[in-house]
Structure formats: structure tokens, C-alpha cells
Amino acid sequence: MNIESKNVVIENTESGLRIFHVITANSKCSFSNYGGHILSFASDGDELLWVSAESNFEFGKAIRGGIPVCWPYFGAAPIDGAPAHGFARLLEWDVCSIIDLPDGRVEVKMSLDSSKLPEFCNKLALSMTIVIGKTLQVSLTTCNQGSSDFTLSQALHTYFNVSYIGNVAVLGLEDTDYFDSLVGKICRQSGAIGIAEEVDRVYLDTDATCTLSDKGKPYQVQISKSGSRSTVVWNPWIAKSIRMADFGDEEYWNMICIETTNAKSDSRILKSGETHTMSLEISKK
């Protein structure tokens, strides 16, 4: 671990997790090398991300909130007994470096030891770069070091903090087709996205920048991306919130997921030696 930054403090939790706290002139960000998981990003004092008060912070369990890394598959496991949403969020990553950039931002580089992965995906090399400043930039890079093609799906499963879900509109996906996971069919978005019931949608064939508008906040959040042509919007609403042990029964009021993904038809086939990078940038406007 090469930490040259003067702007980072490492916290060791009672459960053994390490949390890294980074402070810049414009922002505060916390992340853990467990899961390569970003837990918090505050821009000019405003927290943009959301973490459940019921979340697990212990090895072997996923953290509910922030930016979980779903990799090397998104959704149901392709093999029996494997966890949903992949292995990356359940393993310790190596912190390669944390450095101060000349412009005052902080750059973090992490990687996942492929020897920790099961045989069907242990020829994949995964790395992450986080750049923390007035905006938050996150990039996931996967390289297929095996001799066979690999079908990659993934997500930066970002949970955003909102004042009240009824105040929220998601802009940028108007007139876009989406797969509605609740009914199992393709639909088309009309106008901005509002949430008044359970929503679990994969917006298809889109690299659009999304804007999260919240009437209860004096700013908007912009989510731009590259290497992704699908976006997931999710809120569990009432019944599913109650079913999830690591999610408070009433917490759906104050969160929404807008996820940068390679999902459904946007899954990527990596040939031997090929590399794919998926990135997002979160900014306050």
C-alpha cells in the first residue's frame, strides 16, 4: 500500500474493516477496501450518497448503500451457489496507492486479487480508480487474461440521498425503452421518472447523463458516465423494504438508486486480452 496523500485518515472498525476518510478543499469521501466500497461523498458539505442505518459492516456480508461494486455479473448468479451481484463487493481489495494530485484532488487506486475468485472468472483482472474532488469520479477496469471469451455484466450500484422520495424526479431518460423487472417486459419511459411505487428498471441502449432533481434540496445531482449503455433505477418501496433485513422498513422514503451498468443487452463480451472500462462522475449542480 502506497499512501502519499496528506489528506487521508484510516479508521479500523471493531469488526476489522478498514475505512479510509479523505478530505479535500471541496469534499469529503469515505471508502473501504472491503468490497472496494465507497460509503460517503459530500460536496461542499452536502452528502450525496445514502447508507442504510441497518447495513452490515462485517466480512462476508454486503454493505447496503453507498456505491457497491456488482461484478463480474449483475443480478442472479450464473452458477449454483454463487452470490447475487458477484464477488467484488464481498472481498477485500488491495489499496495500491492514494496520492494527492497537483490540482488538490486525491486519487485512489485499488485492485482485486484474482486468486480470490472462483475458477470460472479467476482469469479476470479488476482495478478501480477513484478521483475525489469537487466531483467524484469512479472507474472500473476489467481485463480478460484468460484464453476464452468472458461475458461481463456489472454495476456501480449507486444509492443517492434524497429529502423525500415524493420530491424526486430523474431527468435524462425520457423516451427511453426500459426492461421492467417487476413485470418482465419492455416499456417506454414517458417524461421524467418519478417514484410512487416499487421501481426496478433497466434503461436500455442509453449513455445519457442523468440528473437527480429533489424539490427538498437547493441543488441537483448530475450522474454522467462512459463505457455504459444501460442505467438501472431502483427503489424497493414498502413490501420489499420490510423483507430486507439490512434495510429499514421506512428508509425507502430517503433513497433512490441510479446505477451505471453494463446490464441486459449491454453485457460486454471480452475476448482474450481485451479490456473494458466503465466510469461514472457524480457532481452537484
Of the listed 259, 274, 276, 281, which one is catalytic? 259
| CA separation for the pair 143, 262 (Å, rounded) | 15
For residue 3, list its beta bridge partners.
98
Angle (CA) 30-220-24 rounded to 5° is 30
| Cα atoms in the 13 Å half-sphere on the side-chain side of 6 | 4
| Residues 176-215: b if buried by 16+ CB within 10 A, e if exposed | bebbebeeeeeeebeeebebeebbbbbbbebebbbbbbbe
| CA separation for the pair 199, 193 (Å, rounded) | 10
Q: Does 259 participate in catalysis according to the annotation?
A: yes
**What are the angstrom distances between the C-alpha of 162 and each of 37, 59, 197, 251?**
20, 28, 16, 11
| CA separation for the pair 254, 247 (Å, rounded) | 12
Q: Does 85 participate in catalysis according to the annotation?
A: no
| CA separation for the pair 227, 128 (Å, rounded) | 14
Cell, residue 41 = 461523498
Of the listed 37, 107, 157, 251, which one is catalytic? 157
Which positions are catalytic?
157, 259
